[in-house]
């Protein structure tokens, strides 16, 4: 049986002062993924390993992590010898590779990241959905983008970060939405993004091109 | 009011759906009645006709609901929802299914969560509901486990609406469902005294990936994915089926499994789907061009089998994969179960789709019955007495957890895997008496071993603990499924038996009901309420 050796950064806030690396030797085969290795470790080697697993292919957004410092989805990342697996940086870790995601729903509420309630009769029959909206709506909310953002830190409420800017831009492009999403983005520091462009999405959602840069452009034009 | 979710809210099974939603009336000649008749014919008359009628009537309303949550259906050049952005989905007699572009249900999942954030209710994320609390035949609350820190909590409630989804995970790795679909709602309902119907009706999507292991079970497509000229071949290249795209999901799944059981399967246990005959005709080429840009399933093929396979010039292996449970908790038009204050909506509810769910109807069903159950539960709760918590409400859970921590038997995940293997082998694509009995004896044996299972305790994110509670649910659902499959001595819809290979309208225009738990589970057979429609429908089909 072919095997590879990988390292997982473990952390149990009830016991560990610092995150600690642990090595595992896991079987591999053609087409093996990081997700598969994690499931193998849990089932066969170490029942205490905590990680998230949802749909096993691309859509649910739960299994995001860093492999060799690169934010990605475990289900889409080929397993290779020597890989180092870490939780996404800049985000609160509950245990091992599992992030606390409860702030996502709180953010949606606090920033009112939804279109206003409408009677069915008030809904527009004709909608010309902007291309940007279509692309941004493909966001699976895996949060990997936040680990690519150099300014984001979950403890700093003054800066929104890529994920929030994508959500704001979705609504900015939604013909049904009435709220000034650019003003919200400005309040959340989108102007800090001006010289950066480092935000990336593992699934190719154009976070910079169709979200951050658009909000930034509108925010900057209001400066005077 | 509170919203409870096993995963962080919005990361469940709905968002991984294909995102295709039925919207009847966009093709000339379509009608509520025609859609209703399609549902019954496709469901082979096991549907509860009143529930199917509601879906036919309210599907367009449910599209509006979804847009009011923030979803946007794909529009034509005029900005309108029309037949130009729709396709004929499996089992429908005409075009009435809206297809998203880009493909996928992710924006639907996001819209549902956005709508969830609009209301002022409490939210409990990452909780496993371990038990419903009842007083007599009435709901008074529930017990839940917070998976984050391992604590238990009791919530008093006048009404509970189960929207827990299905049980595809019973067949892992042969499923395209998320890991959360462990059938919790069915088991909670049974434990509370409610009834399940037609649990033998498990829909397998005919075309899914066979290898590599990381992608096994992932959906390629339903029969329409074969295109007008696609065909199925056995390991030696003999043609097993043609004109696949007009068959139901169940028919194709049964063909594949019969050939595989006959030893005609290819290297990874599946049959070979050959799309290449589509190159020979204009409509075939048009289909392939569409498929290469619009169908996510072919991207899975590229990932699993490589870029050469993606071209569709050569056949590749496919095997059915558990996709949807047609059976479920017995409900009425308002999602009410036989337990006062207990409601069910979505995949966990049964009877809507009979023996086979037509493509694209699930995304209507969840909204229609979600709304109905919610409205009625609110009305009911306004008039019901405030429920009381009792000091000993959590004792049972504490006792179970301390047992698991004390014992030294198998780990829960090992028993879960054993159960899944048995379900796929014995209550999978083609069933028979012997397999059914083997399934039940394996369920008994796993249940016995689960009394001795053990694992190390620790407070937060103990996946073993979640697995242990889920195994108990899965055992109940497995038993209900196996018992119903043994009971139905015919082949109908998604339920195929090699010892009763024919549909038997004389004896089996009937629903199978399950009640009770464990070895005292009882089944009952009652004439299908759609039986008279069936006779009329069969007459229409043969005239």
Q: How many H helices and E strands in chain A?
A: 7, 7
> Pick from A77, A99, A121: which residue ends a domain?
A99
Whether B205 and chain A come into contact, CB under 8 Å, resolves to no
Cβ atoms of residues A19 and A96 within 8 Å: no
> What residues does each domain of chain B span?
1-201+326-383+392-543, 204-320
- Using CB atoms, which residue from A32, A47, A123 is nearest to B464? A47
Q: Tell me the mean pLDDT in the region B222-242.
A: 95
Burial of residue B449 (CB within 10 Å: 0-12, 13-18, 19+) is middle
Whether A134 and chain B come into contact, CB under 8 Å, resolves to yes
Cβ atoms of residues B109 and B14 within 8 Å: yes
Q: Tell me the mean pLDDT in the region B256-266.
A: 93
Q: What does the alpha-carbon distance between residue B441 and residue B421 come to, in Å, rounded to a whole number?
A: 14
Q: What does the alpha-carbon distance between residue B143 and residue B133 come to, in Å, rounded to a whole number?
A: 7
- Claim to verify: residue A54 and residue A121 sit in the same structural domain: no
Number of domains forming the structure of chain A: 2
Contacts of A100 in chain B (CB under 8 A): 148
Higher pLDDT, A194 or B296: A194
The DSSP annotation for B142-183 comes to EEEEETTT--EEEEE-S-EEE-----GGGGTTSB-S-TT-S-
Q: Tell me the mean pLDDT in the region A91-99.
A: 96
Cβ atoms of residues B341 and B380 within 8 Å: yes
Q: Locate tokens 């509370």: which residue?
A: B192
- Claim to verify: residue A131 and residue A69 sit in the same structural domain: no
- Using CB atoms, which residue from B10, B212, B456 is nearest to A32? B212
Tell me which of A11, A60, A133, A173 to substitute to probe the interface with B (most B C-beta atoms closer than 10 Å): A60
- Claim to verify: residue A115 and residue A217 sit in the same structural domain: yes
Tell me which of A2, A35, A61 to substitute to probe the interface with B (most B C-beta atoms closer than 10 Å): A61
> Pick from A99, A116, A137: which residue ends a domain?
A99
Higher pLDDT, B250 or B357: B357
Q: Tell me the mean pLDDT in the region A41-70.
A: 96
Query: What confidence category does residue B250 fall into, taking pLDDT thresholds of 50, 70 and 90?
Result: confident
- Using CB atoms, which residue from B70, B113, B459 is nearest to A115? B70
Question: CA nearest B125 in A: which residue?
Answer: A102
Q: What is the CA radius of gyration of chain B?
A: 23
pLDDT for the residue A223:
64
Q: Tell me the mean pLDDT in the region B22-38.
A: 96
- Claim to verify: residue A90 and residue A111 sit in the same structural domain: no
Query: Do B214 and A31 lie within an 8 Å CB cutoff?
Result: yes
CB pairs under 8 A between A and B: 163
Percentage of the residues of chain A whose pLDDT score is greater than 70: 99
Whether A164 and chain B come into contact, CB under 8 Å, resolves to no
Tell me which of A33, A140, A179 to substitute to probe the interface with B (most B C-beta atoms closer than 10 Å): A140
Which of A:144-163 have CB within 8 Å of B? none
B39-53 pLDDT, tens digit per residue, is: 999 999 999 999 999
- Using CB atoms, which residue from B75, B117, B411 is nearest to A105? B117
Tell me which of A14, A37, A41, A59 to substitute to probe the interface with B (most B C-beta atoms closer than 10 Å): A59
- Claim to verify: residue A69 and residue A107 sit in the same structural domain: no
Q: What does the alpha-carbon distance between residue B318 and residue B353 come to, in Å, rounded to a whole number?
A: 25
Which of A:172-201 have CB within 8 Å of B? 174, 176
Q: Tell me the mean pLDDT in the region A37-66.
A: 96
Distance from B175 to chain A by nearest Cα, in Å?
10
For the segment(s) B1-201+326-383+392-543, the CATH number from 3.40.50.800, 3.50.50.60, 1.10.1740.10, 3.90.420.10 is: 3.50.50.60
Whether B78 and chain A come into contact, CB under 8 Å, resolves to yes
The answer to whether residue B249 scores a pLDDT higher than 90 is: no
The answer to whether residue B223 scores a pLDDT higher than 60 is: yes
The answer to whether residue A224 scores a pLDDT higher than 60 is: no
Query: Do A98 and B461 lie within an 8 Å CB cutoff?
Result: yes
**CATH number of the domain within which A208 lies:** 1.10.1060.10
Q: β-pairing, B160-162 with B342-344?
A: parallel
Question: CA nearest A96 in B: which residue?
Answer: B461
The 3-state secondary structure of B14-65 reads HHHCCCCEECCCCCCCCCHHHHHHHHHHHCCCCCCHHHHHHHHHHHHHHHHH
Ranges of H-type helices in B218-361: 249-259, 282-294, 296-305, 307-310
Query: Do B15 and A140 lie within an 8 Å CB cutoff?
Result: yes
The answer to whether residue B533 scores a pLDDT higher than 80 is: no
Contacts of B302 in chain A (CB under 8 A): none
Q: Taking every pair of C-alpha atoms in chain A, what is the biggest distance, in angstroms? A: 66
Query: Do B114 and A113 lie within an 8 Å CB cutoff?
Result: yes
B379-402 pLDDT, tens digit per residue, is: 999 999 889 899 999 999 999 999
A147-181 pLDDT, tens digit per residue, is: 999 999 999 999 999 999 999 999 999 999 999 99
pLDDT for the residue B460:
85
Percentage of the residues of chain B whose pLDDT score is greater than 70: 99
- Claim to verify: residue A131 and residue A88 sit in the same structural domain: no
Task: Mention every residue, 6+ apart, whose C-beta is less than 8 A from residue B430.
Answer: B254, B257, B258, B261, B496, B497, B498
Query: Do A126 and B75 lie within an 8 Å CB cutoff?
Result: yes
Question: CA nearest B179 in A: which residue?
Answer: A54
pLDDT for the residue B196:
98
The DSSP annotation for B446-503 comes to HHHHHTT------SS--HHHHHHHHHHHHHHHHHHHHHHHHH--S-BTTBEESSS-S-
- Claim to verify: residue A70 and residue A117 sit in the same structural domain: no
Query: What confidence category does residue B113 fall into, taking pLDDT thresholds of 50, 70 and 90?
Result: very high
Query: Do A127 and B215 lie within an 8 Å CB cutoff?
Result: no
pLDDT for the residue A213:
96
The answer to whether residue A1 scores a pLDDT higher than 60 is: yes
- Claim to verify: residue A146 and residue A205 sit in the same structural domain: yes
- Claim to verify: residue A214 and residue A124 sit in the same structural domain: yes
Query: What confidence category does residue B59 fall into, taking pLDDT thresholds of 50, 70 and 90?
Result: very high
Q: Tell me the mean pLDDT in the region A122-137.
A: 96
**CATH number of the domain within which A59 lies:** 3.10.20.30
B181-205 pLDDT, tens digit per residue, is: 999 999 999 999 999 999 999 999 9
The C-alpha angle with vertex B399 and arms to B394 and B405, in degrees rounded to 5, equals 130
Q: Tell me the mean pLDDT in the region B52-66.
A: 97
pLDDT for the residue B251:
86
pLDDT for the residue B457:
76
**CA B164 from chain center: how many Å?**
11
The DSSP bridge partners found for residue A99 are A93
- Using CB atoms, which residue from A113, A128, A140 is nearest to B106? A140
Whether A117 and chain B come into contact, CB under 8 Å, resolves to yes
Query: What confidence category does residue B101 fall into, taking pLDDT thresholds of 50, 70 and 90?
Result: confident
- Claim to verify: residue A8 and residue A118 sit in the same structural domain: no
pLDDT for the residue B543:
64
Cβ atoms of residues B38 and B96 within 8 Å: no
Query: What confidence category does residue B364 fall into, taking pLDDT thresholds of 50, 70 and 90?
Result: very high
pLDDT for the residue B296:
76
> Pick from A78, A99, A120: which residue ends a domain?
A99
The answer to whether residue A80 scores a pLDDT higher than 90 is: yes
Query: Do A101 and B125 lie within an 8 Å CB cutoff?
Result: yes
Which of B:101-160 have CB within 8 Å of A? 101-102, 104-107, 110, 113-118, 123, 125-126, 148
Contacts of B15 in chain A (CB under 8 A): 59-61, 140
Structural domain span for residue A67: 3-99
Whether A29 and chain B come into contact, CB under 8 Å, resolves to yes
- Claim to verify: residue A127 and residue A177 sit in the same structural domain: yes
The answer to whether residue A205 scores a pLDDT higher than 80 is: yes
Query: Do A54 and B68 lie within an 8 Å CB cutoff?
Result: no
Q: What is the CATH number of domain B204-320?
A: 3.90.700.10
Tell me which of A1, A38, A40, A55 to substitute to probe the interface with B (most B C-beta atoms closer than 10 Å): A55
């Amino acid at each position: 049986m072919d095997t590879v050796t990988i390292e997982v950064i473990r952390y149990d806030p009830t016991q560990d002062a610092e995150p600690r690396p642990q090595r595992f030797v896991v079987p591999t085969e053609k087409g093996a993924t990081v997700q598969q290795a994690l499931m193998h470790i849990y089932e066969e080697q170490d029942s205490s390993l905590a990680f998230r697993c949802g749909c096993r292919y691309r859509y649910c957004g739960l299994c995001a992590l860093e492999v060799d410092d690169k934010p990605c989805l475990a289900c889409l990342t080929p397993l290779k010898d020597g890989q180092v697996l870490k939780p996404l940086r800049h985000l609160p870790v509950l245990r091992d590779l599992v992030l606390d995601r409860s702030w996502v729903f709180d953010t949606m509420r606090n920033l009112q990241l939804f279109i206003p309630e409408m009677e069915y009769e008030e809904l527009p029959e004709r909608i010309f959905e902007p291309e940007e909206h279509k692309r941004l709506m493909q966001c699976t909310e895996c949060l990997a983008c936040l680990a690519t953002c150099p300014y984001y830190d979950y403890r700093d409420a003054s800066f929104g970060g890529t994920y929030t800017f994508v959500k704001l831009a979705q609504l900015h492009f939604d013909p049904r939405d009435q709220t000034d999403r650019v003003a919200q983005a400005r309040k959340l520091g989108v102007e800090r993004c001006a010289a950066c462009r480092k935000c990336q999405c593992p699934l190719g959602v154009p976070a910079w091109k169709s979200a951050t840069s658009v909000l930034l452009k509108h925010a900057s034009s209001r400066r005077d | 009011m509170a919203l409870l979710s096993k995963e962080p809210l919005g990361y469940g099974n709905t968002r991984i759906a294909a995102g295709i939603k039925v919207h009847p009336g966009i093709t000339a000649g379509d009608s509520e009645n025609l859609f209703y008749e399609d549902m019954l014919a496709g469901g082979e008359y096991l549907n509860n006709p009143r529930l199917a009628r509601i879906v036919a009537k309210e599907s367009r309303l449910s599209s509006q609901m979804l847009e009011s949550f923030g979803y946007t259906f794909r529009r034509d050049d005029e900005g309108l929802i029309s037949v130009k952005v729709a396709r004929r989905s499996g089992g429908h007699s005409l075009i009435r299914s809206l297809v998203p572009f880009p493909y996928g249900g992710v924006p639907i999942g996001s819209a549902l969560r956005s709508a969830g954030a609009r209301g002022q209710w409490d939210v409990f994320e990452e909780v496993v509901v371990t038990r419903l609390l009842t007083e007599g035949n009435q709901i008074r609350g529930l017990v839940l486990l917070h998976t984050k820190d391992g604590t238990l909590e009791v919530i008093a409630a006048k009404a509970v609406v189960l929207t827990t989804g299905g049980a595809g995970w019973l067949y892992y790795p042969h499923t395209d469902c998320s890991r959360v679909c462990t059938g919790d709602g069915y088991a909670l309902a049974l434990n509370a005294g409610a009834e399940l119907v037609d649990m033998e009706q498990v829909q397998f999507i005919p075309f899914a990936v066979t290898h590599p292991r990381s992608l096994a079970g992932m959906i390629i497509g339903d029969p329409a994915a074969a295109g007008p000229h696609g065909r199925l071949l056995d390991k030696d290249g003999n043609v097993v089926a043609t004109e696949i795209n007009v068959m139901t999901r169940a028919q194709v799944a049964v063909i594949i499994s019969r050939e595989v059981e006959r030893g005609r399967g290819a290297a990874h246990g599946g049959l070979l789907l050959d799309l290449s005959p589509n190159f020979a005709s204009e409509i075939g080429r048009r289909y392939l061009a569409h498929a290469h840009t619009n169908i996510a399933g072919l991207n899975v093929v590229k990932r699993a089998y490589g870029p050469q396979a993606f071209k569709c010039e050569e056949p590749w292996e496919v095997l059915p994969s558990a996709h949807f449970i047609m059976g479920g908790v017995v409900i009425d038009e308002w999602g009410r179960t036989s337990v006062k204050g207990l409601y069910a909506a979505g995949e966990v509810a049964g009877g809507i789709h009979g023996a086979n769910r037509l493509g694209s109807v699930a995304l209507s069903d969840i909204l229609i019955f979600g709304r109905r159950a919610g409205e009625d539960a609110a009305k009911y709760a306004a008039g019901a007495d405030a429920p009381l918590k009792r000091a000993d409400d959590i004792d049972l859970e504490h006792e179970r957890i301390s047992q698991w921590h004390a014992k030294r038997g198998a780990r829960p995940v090992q028993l879960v895997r054993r159960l899944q293997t048995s379900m796929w082998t014995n209550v999978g694509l083609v069933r028979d008496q012997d397999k059914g009995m083997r399934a039940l004896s394996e369920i008994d044996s796993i249940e016995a071993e689960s009394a001795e299972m053990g694992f190390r305790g620790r407070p937060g994110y103990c996946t073993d603990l979640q697995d242990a509670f889920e195994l108990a649910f899965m055992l109940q659902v497995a038993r209900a499924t196996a018992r119903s499959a043994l009971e139905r001595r015919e082949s109908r819809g998604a339920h195929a038996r090699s010892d009763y290979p024919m549909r038997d309208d004389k004896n089996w225009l009937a629903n199978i009901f399950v009640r009770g738990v464990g070895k005292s589970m009882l089944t009952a057979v009652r004439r299908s309420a759609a039986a008279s429609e069936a006779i009329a429908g069969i007459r229409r089909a043969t005239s």
